[in-house]
Copies of this chain bind each other. A is one copy, B any other.
Amino acid sequence: MSGTPHLAIDAMGGDTGPETTVAGVAHALRHDPALAFTLFGDEAILAPLVARHKAFAGRVGIAHAPEVVSGEEKPSAALRRAKKTSMGLAIAAVKDGKADAAVSAGNTGALMATAKVALRTIKGIDRPALAALLPTLGTHDLVMLDLGANTECDARNLFEFAIMGAAYSRIVHDIAEPKVRLLNIGTEEMKGTDVVRDAAALIRSAPHLPLQFDGFIEANALGRGEADVIVSDGFSGNIALKTAEGTATFIGDLIRRAFTSSLRSKFGFLLSRPAITLLRQGLDPNTRNGAVFLGLTGTVVKSHGSASAVGFANAIAVAAKLARARITDRIAEDLAQTRSANVDTAA
């Protein structure tokens, strides 16, 4: 099973829906022919889209779902309809062991609520967190969590996020002891809230964990490649993520204005186009698409609602990688180690 993950796809989610998700599945299958899929959604819409792809034969099935979660729907409303929606049924397939992971580009709040209720948290984890890979100037991307699943967190939550983030980093970075840091407004020990200071103390008190804790990091150092994992509460993490997005867009706009300010600049821009393309690829959110809900008993990956087919395929690749690496088991093992170590210390 683990070599050939079976993925449950919410084929109706996202701004452009089935056109994009089915094209994304096709793209993913070309790059990773061992994958198998069940597409959840309106059969009448999906069947003709699926029929276009010969490569889907024997590898991509359709499971009819009569309803769709809308983008504005409240999590509580989406939860009530979970047994009929493409999102709810895709997650149920993971719960029932019929799929190894689910991927959806739908409403984040609804996805979070549905996944939490259907899959529950791993024993020892209080709350799941939303994790994603962010670009750095270092040798590899950075795992950051929580990006908005929990607006308020206590020290124990942040401690658990560190364990979950480190497990994710070991899988994607192939590092035995990832460097973990806590997001704070200063690097000195006395800086920040009681919550971050207590979280730092908790992580320091668990030296047996397969991670290297390097203390606090400030938000201006996020992209410097100084950490493999950065942990924060969901409010701060969401603000950092969105500020970075907004700043990138802001500077992109300034660049466009600057380069069209004179004929000379326009000519320079044309000559520099390969450089600009390189820059755009470096910042393209599609290449890093696929945020993961960590801490649940099954893997659920959130694709950006506006992701392209290639972006959706990248979210699928994330789900496949985490399913193959059995991330849920790894987090549970690390937690079990922490518990047994605590018992040893107490004895």
Contacts and interface: CB of A to CB of B under 8 A. Distances in A.
B235 A185 contact: yes
Contacts of A259: 272, 275
Interface residues of A, number: 57
A49 interface: no
A246 B223 contact: yes
A243 B247 contact: yes
A220 B240 contact: no
Interface string A223-247: 1100000000011101111111111
A283 B250 CA distance: 10
Given A148-B185, A220-B242, A275 B251 contact: no
A221 interface: yes
A209 to B, nearest CB: 25
A117 interface: no
A216 to B, nearest CB: 12
Given A219-B246, A254-B279, A265-B275, 4 more contacts: A243-B244, A247-B251, A258-B272, A267-B271
9 contacts: A151-B185, A218-B242, A220-B243, A243-B243, A251-B283, A255-B255, A258-B282, A259-B275, A268-B270
Interface string A251-269: 1011101110110110111
A285 to B, nearest CB: 11
Pick from A257, A272, A279 the residue with the most CB of B within 10 Å.
A272
Contacts of A247: 222-223, 243-244, 247-248, 251
